[in-house]
Amino acid sequence: MSVLPIVKWPDPRLSETCAPVEQITPGIERLAADMLETMYDAPGRGLAAPQVGAMLRMFVMDIGWKEGNSDPLVCINPMLQEVGEDRETGPEGCLSIPGVSADVSRPTTVQMVWTGLDGGRYVQAFSGFGAICVQHELDHLDGVVTFDHLDPDTRATLEAQYSEGLT
């Protein structure tokens, strides 16, 4: 396993839609292991394949590891099956936009279906932070970043702060 470099915004790959994973190969298994190692090293709770330059519909997440409740998930070709009507607005950070936190409004519950590394189909309901993490990582697979959820003035302010931090 290796820690991979994380792609930083405004890299154009972060705005691209990812291709489905056609087959679970040793390369996909290695990518999943490297993505988990990279996520833990960052340290984050989720990481999508385009964030490490792999333009595939795949992400990893482990929402409880920082509290000692590790439960890593590798989600291949994930899709939302159900989205709750209740919404909440809260701060979100992103490993590809370090140092920026933005308030994003998202549904508080979702149900996702995905393929695991074992080839099995999984369906799980997520709520609270888990629902936010799932939606954030799915956004990456569709070329959407946190900035894309913001009104133009807030986006311009946060982009300027982020750009200042790079110099």
For 83: left if phi > 0, alpha if psi spans -120 to 50, otherwise beta; the answer is beta
Give the CA distances from residue 145 to residues 1, 30, 99, 116, 167, in Å, rounded to whole numbers and listed in that order. 27, 25, 14, 24, 21
Query: Which of these is catalytic: 67, 137, 159, 164?
Result: 137
22 catalytically annotated: no
Contact 86, 53 (CB under 8 A): no
Structure tokens at 167: 């110099």
Catalytic residues, by residue number, are 137
